[in-house]
């Protein structure tokens, strides 16, 4: 055989082999890309049967949520007499000119603006608005005497997709309704309807509690951001308003509301339990997934290791220290963070990978080049800081209200080391969750207020290397 023919044959065989390799690689690439995309959808809850909790069980556990979330804010069906050039007319002309009362953005904007300075301040409209929504007042008042649901322990609630759709449908309405309760409380304070202000505060806590712990208490369900707004309201009611101490009846209602707050704090989901439940969810992550998605997930784990190892390790250690104080949880979380420093991991990259082909190519390239056995470094330090801050401020504000009540009746501040009756009544509000000991207290020489302080750091400046502890200055009631 001549030399040119041999060369031609070699080239032909090479091209054929190359074509086969490219074809095989293309099939493999398309398969991996498809499976990764499918697995991503499964991880985000698009597939499977874990879209939401069982409706009937939730209705029995959280009747307050179902009542308030299903209520609709009423808007005027016809024009209310408004003076031309008023803040209401100007506000509507400036924003959402073409939107109607059925539009969610319009409804949210109007309610957020009602009674706000330089927004809607016209008394004619505001009064009519509240008159049309008297059903909220009735619900706030009727729910006051009900006990809080105890979400501090594990509650197993089955899941199904229909419940997920229900929750999604009512979520936006619930946000608006919760805002309406907050607005009602501030308006009650403005109108000196102090009894309604107290009841509105408790209703707000009740609704955020019900909406926040649907199903198993886990990390995503115990982070009640709405309680930040309640903390501001509580300052106005329990620490800045003095009228409660000028009337015996109002003083009794003030005390009763504080005891309700104690009940709420005691029934809040426990952080250690929430971490344990979240770990259980991770273990059951692939339940309900399609076989190919589970196979892809475990195949990646063989190369990279279990992505949830750091979280599982932290969860076991935290739960073993349950009830010993937040300082123990903090130590564990930061020790685990040192052991598993933040790195790029395939699970983190997958979460932020787009569904287009170029994003998939970028992800696959990253996955191939990344060193094996690199775990996901998700460690719930942020969740802990949020939970501990919320819980500490709830306790401090409640303790401050009780201390003002004590001052009004005894003409002095309570001594947490000597006034056993006061400490017994204050209960969990007198205990610093961080140290598991009583809050420290000191009277200010400047204005005579009492300052309660926690061992929890509230803020840190990395440049000045300084931090501030969570504390509360409680003014005298007169």
Residue 455, pLDDT score:
95
Mean pLDDT of 33-39: 60
Residue 91, pLDDT score:
76
pLDDT higher at 63 or 385: 385
Look at residues 204, 207, 201, 144 and name the one whose alpha carbon lies nearest to residue 170: 207
pLDDT at 103 > cutoff 90: no
Residue 53, pLDDT score:
56
Q: Are 306 and 375 in contact (CB under 8 A)?
A: yes
Q: Between the CA of residue 302 and those of 31, 37, 257, 374, 375, what are the distances in Å?
A: 18, 19, 55, 11, 11
Outline where 44-160 has alpha helix (H): 55-61, 63-70, 87-94, 104-113, 123-132, 134-142
Residue 67, pLDDT score:
77
Q: Which of 71-85, 244-258, 302-316, 366-380 has the lowest mean pLDDT?
A: 366-380
Mean pLDDT of 97-121: 78
pLDDT higher at 459 or 409: 409
Q: Where are the beta strands (DSSP E) in 350-477?
A: 431-432, 437-438, 440-443, 450-461, 466-474
pLDDT at 303 > cutoff 70: no
* Beta bridge pairs of residue 453: 440, 471
pLDDT at 468 > cutoff 80: yes
pLDDT band at 398 (very low <50, low <70, confident <90, very high): very high
pLDDT band at 70 (very low <50, low <70, confident <90, very high): confident
Mean pLDDT of 201-219: 78
Residue 427, pLDDT score:
97
Mean pLDDT of 419-428: 97
Mean pLDDT of 428-438: 97
pLDDT band at 259 (very low <50, low <70, confident <90, very high): very high
pLDDT higher at 314 or 30: 314
Report the C-alpha gap between 246 and 108 in whole angstroms: 37
Mean pLDDT of 377-401: 92
Query: What percent of the chain shows pLDDT beyond 70?
Result: 73
Q: pLDDT tens, 304-334? A: 667 788 899 999 999 999 989 999 999 999 9
Tokens of 192: 């000196």
Report the C-alpha gap between 180 and 183 in whole angstroms: 5
Report CA 417 to chain centroid distance, whole Å: 35
pLDDT band at 165 (very low <50, low <70, confident <90, very high): low
Report the C-alpha gap between 37 and 220 in whole angstroms: 24
pLDDT at 95 > cutoff 80: no
pLDDT at 49 > cutoff 50: no
Burial class from Cβ neighbours inside 10 Å (0-12, 13-18, 19+) for residue 235 reads middle
Report the C-alpha gap between 111 and 75 in whole angstroms: 10
Look at residues 219, 221, 214, 222 and name the one whose alpha carbon lies nearest to residue 159: 214
* Alpha carbon distance, N-terminus to C-terminus of the chain: 113
Angle of CA points 277, 282, 287, to nearest 5°: 110
Residue 50, pLDDT score:
46
pLDDT higher at 260 or 340: 260
The DSSP code sequence of 292-356 is HHHHHHHHHHHHH--TTHHHHHHHHHHHHTTTS-HHHHHHHHHHHHHHS-----HHHHHHT--SS
Residue 286, pLDDT score:
74
Q: Are 452 and 402 in contact (CB under 8 A)?
A: no
Mean pLDDT of the chain: 80
Residue 423, pLDDT score:
97
> pTM, whole model, 2 decimals?
0.81
Residue 260, pLDDT score:
96
pLDDT at 32 > cutoff 70: no
The DSSP code sequence of 61-86 is H-HHHHHHHH------SS-----TT-
Tokens of 324: 């010993």
Report the C-alpha gap between 191 and 474 in whole angstroms: 24
pLDDT at 5 > cutoff 50: yes
pLDDT at 252 > cutoff 90: yes
Q: pLDDT tens, 175-196? A: 888 899 999 999 999 999 999 9
Which range, 140-144, 146-150, 298-302, 403-407, is most confident? 403-407
DSSP 3-state of 16:
helix
Which range, 24-28, 212-216, 280-284, 459-463, is most confident? 280-284
pLDDT at 3 > cutoff 80: no
Q: Are 198 and 186 in contact (CB under 8 A)?
A: no
Report the C-alpha gap between 202 and 207 in whole angstroms: 9
């Amino acid at each position: 055989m001549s030399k040119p023919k041999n060369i031609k044959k070699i080239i032909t065989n090479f091209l054929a082999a190359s074509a086969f390799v490219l074809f095989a690689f293309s099939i493999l690439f398309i398969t991996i890309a498809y499976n990764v995309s499918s697995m991503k959808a499964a991880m985000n809850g698009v597939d499977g049967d874990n879209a939401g909790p069982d409706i009937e069980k939730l209705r029995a556990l959280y009747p307050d949520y179902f009542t308030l979330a299903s209520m609709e804010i009423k808007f005027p069906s016809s024009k209310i007499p408004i003076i031309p050039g008023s803040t209401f007319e100007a506000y509507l002309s400036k924003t959402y000119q073409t939107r109607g009362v059925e539009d969610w953005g319009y409804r949210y904007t109007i309610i957020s603006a009602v009674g706000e300075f330089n927004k809607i301040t016209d008394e004619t409209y505001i009064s009519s608005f509240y008159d049309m929504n008297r059903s909220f007042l009735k619900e706030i008042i009727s729910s006051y005497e009900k006990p809080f649901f105890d979400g501090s322990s594990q509650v197993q609630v089955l899941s199904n997709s229909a419940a997920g759709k229900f929750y999604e449908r009512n979520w936006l309405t619930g946000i608006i309704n919760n805002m309406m309760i907050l607005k009602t409380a501030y308006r009650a304070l403005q109108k000196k309807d102090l009894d309604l202000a107290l009841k509105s505060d408790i209703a707000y806590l009740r609704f955020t509690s019900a909406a926040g712990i649907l199903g198993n208490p886990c990390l995503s369900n115990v982070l009640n951001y709405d309680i930040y707004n309640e903390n501001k309201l509580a300052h106005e009611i329990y620490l800045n308003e003095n009228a409660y101490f000028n009337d015996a009846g109002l003083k009794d209602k003030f005390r009763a509301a504080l005891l309700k707050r104690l009940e709420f704090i005691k029934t809040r989901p426990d952080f250690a339990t929430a971490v344990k439940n979240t770990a259980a969810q991770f273990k059951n992550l692939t339940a309900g997934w399609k076989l190919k998605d589970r196979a892809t997930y475990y195949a990646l784990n063989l190369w990279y290791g279990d992505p949830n190892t750091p979280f599982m390790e932290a969860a076991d250690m935290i739960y073993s220290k349950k009830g010993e104080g937040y300082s123990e949880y903090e130590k564990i979380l930061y020790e685990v963070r040192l052991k598993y420093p933040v790195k790029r991991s395939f699970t983190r990259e997958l979460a932020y990978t787009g569904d287009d082909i170029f994003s998939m190519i970028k992800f696959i390239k990253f996955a191939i080049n990344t060193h094996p056995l690199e775990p996901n470094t998700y460690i719930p330090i942020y969740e802990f800081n949020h939970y501990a801050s919320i819980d500490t401020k709830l306790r401090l504000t409640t303790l401050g209200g009780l201390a003002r009540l004590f001052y009004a009746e005894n003409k002095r501040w309570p001594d947490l080391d000597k006034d056993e009756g006061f400490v017994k009544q204050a209960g969990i509000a007198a205990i610093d969750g961080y140290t598991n000991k009583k809050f420290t207290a000191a009277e200010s020489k400047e204005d005579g207020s009492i300052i309660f302080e926690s061992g929890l750091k509230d803020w840190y400046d990395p440049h000045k290397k300084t931090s501030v502890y969570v504390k509360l200055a409680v003014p005298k009631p007169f």
